[in-house]
Amino acid sequence: MKTAVLCPGPSLATTFKGREPYECVAGVNRAVHRANCDVWVALDPSPFEAIPASWFTTETTLHNLRGLGRLPPGCQVTAVEPIFEQIPADLGGATWTAFSGVAALISMYLRGAKSIDVFGYDATDAPDFDGVNLHSNQRNKDRWEHEALCFKVVTKWLAARGCVVNRIKP
């Protein structure tokens, strides 16, 4: 199955042209607004309510949103933690649950992906694909290096299982 992961980086605005030829599209955090997504991957609570029919997140986030009454009715939720029985959190020096963009790769793999095209994964403090520059997006060099390591380790782990990850760049 050919899938796409949409990350909210600035290149998403120009690189992702549409759902064709993807059978499943996941939106990471705010990128869920860029296209009609099948899955929303957001590991921490989010200030918006654009949740597609499926959501991949943590049990803590689910607990908090249920307590606040913010979990939309009918939303199918997959919690990260039970997946540890299938896929260990640490895949050899990196934790796939540390970042929503990396967790999205695992989410697509669990849905049967053999190919994952990743758009908008820019690792920059530049404004997002829609020009919005949220304060929460301001991250330092160490944070980007840690995410890059996790992305590399997870990509290698997936490749060993027949799932190819393609980072689409402008």
Q: Who wins on pLDDT, 135 or 106?
A: 106
C-alpha distances in angstroms, 142 versus 78, 95, 111, 112, 145? 29, 15, 31, 32, 5
C-alpha to C-alpha distance for 156 and 79, rounded to whole angstroms: 23
Highest mean pLDDT among 8-22, 50-64, 69-83, 138-152: 8-22
CA triple 57-109-92, angle to 5 deg: 85
Number of folded domains that form the chain: 1
Domain hosting 98: range is: 2-167
- pLDDT band of 126, cuts 50, 70, 90: confident
Query: Contact, 15 vs 170, CB < 8 A?
Result: yes
Provide the pLDDT for residue 47.
47
Per-residue pLDDT tens over the stretch 7-31: 999 999 999 999 999 999 999 988 8
Task: Tell me the three-class secondary structure of the chain, residue by residue.
Answer: CEEEEECCCCCHHHHCCCCCCCCEEEEEHHHHHCCCCCEEECCCCCCCCCCCCEEEECHHHHHHHHHHCCCCCCCEEEECHHHHHCCCCECCCCECCCCHHHHHHHHHHHCCCCEEEEECCCCCCCCCCCCCCCHHHCCCHHHHHHHHHHHHHHHHHHHCCCCEEEECCC
